[in-house]
């Protein structure tokens, strides 16, 4: 049972930010510290990627584990109330993400997804980003 009313819960969820989140800022700081420069939230690209490196044809999405359903992650919980609302919402989020990634790949962009829980291990995050970016330099 939810301790908030439906209206209170709705107001709280409405305030969840889409841009400038803590995980996104952590990824941006890591990239900047490694010497990479980038653009943010390009509206002309499918899915409006969080981070775009046009010269490298690379995009990075920073996904929240809850909203984008990170498989096997403890943060990927399903609310106990109003599951008839949440399950289709989560399914649509996953479907929209898959469509955006497919369109980007088709257009020749390399795509990397950083999950919210990965940001908790800064060194592993840095290594993952570096691996992806170095690999994207060598592949066409």
How far apart are alpha carbons 41 and 61 in whole angstroms? 10
Intra-chain end-to-end CA distance of the chain, in Å: 52
Phi–psi pair at 78, nearest 5 degrees: -115, 125
Q: Whole-prediction pTM value?
A: 0.83
Give the C-alpha separation, 48 to 55, whole Å: 17
Provide the residue ranges of all domains of the chain, joining segments of one domain with +: 28-138
CB hemisphere CA count around 93 (13 angstroms) = 14
pLDDT tens digits in sequence order for the chain, 140 residues long: 677 787 886 777 666 666 778 999 999 999 999 999 999 999 999 999 999 999 999 999 999 999 899 999 999 999 888 899 899 999 999 999 999 999 999 999 999 999 999 999 999 999 999 999 987 554 43
- Listed in order, strand segments (DSSP E) in 1-140 are 39-40, 51-53, 58-63, 110-115
Is 60:114 a contact under the CB 8 Å cutoff?
yes
105: tokens are 């790949």
CA R_g for the chain: 16
The tens digit of pLDDT for each residue in 94-107 reads 999 999 999 999 99
* Architecture of the structural domain at 28-138: 3-Layer(aba) Sandwich (3.40)
* Number of helices followed by number of strands (H, E) in the chain: 5, 4
């Amino acid at each position: 049972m939810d301790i908030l009313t439906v209206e209170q819960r709705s107001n709280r969820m409405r305030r969840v930010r889409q841009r400038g989140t803590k995980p996104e800022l952590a990824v941006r700081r890591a990239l900047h510290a490694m010497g990479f420069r980038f653009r943010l939230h390009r509206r002309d690209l499918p899915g409006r990627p969080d981070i775009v490196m046009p010269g490298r044809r690379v995009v990075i999405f920073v996904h929240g584990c809850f909203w984008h359903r990170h498989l096997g992650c403890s943060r990927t919980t399903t609310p106990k109330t109003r599951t008839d609302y949440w399950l289709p919402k989560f399914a649509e989020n996953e479907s929209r993400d898959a469509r955006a990634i497919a369109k980007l790949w088709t257009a020749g962009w390399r795509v990397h997804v950083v999950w919210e829980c990965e940001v908790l291990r800064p060194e592993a995050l840095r290594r993952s980003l570096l691996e992806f970016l170095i690999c994207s330099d060598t592949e066409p």
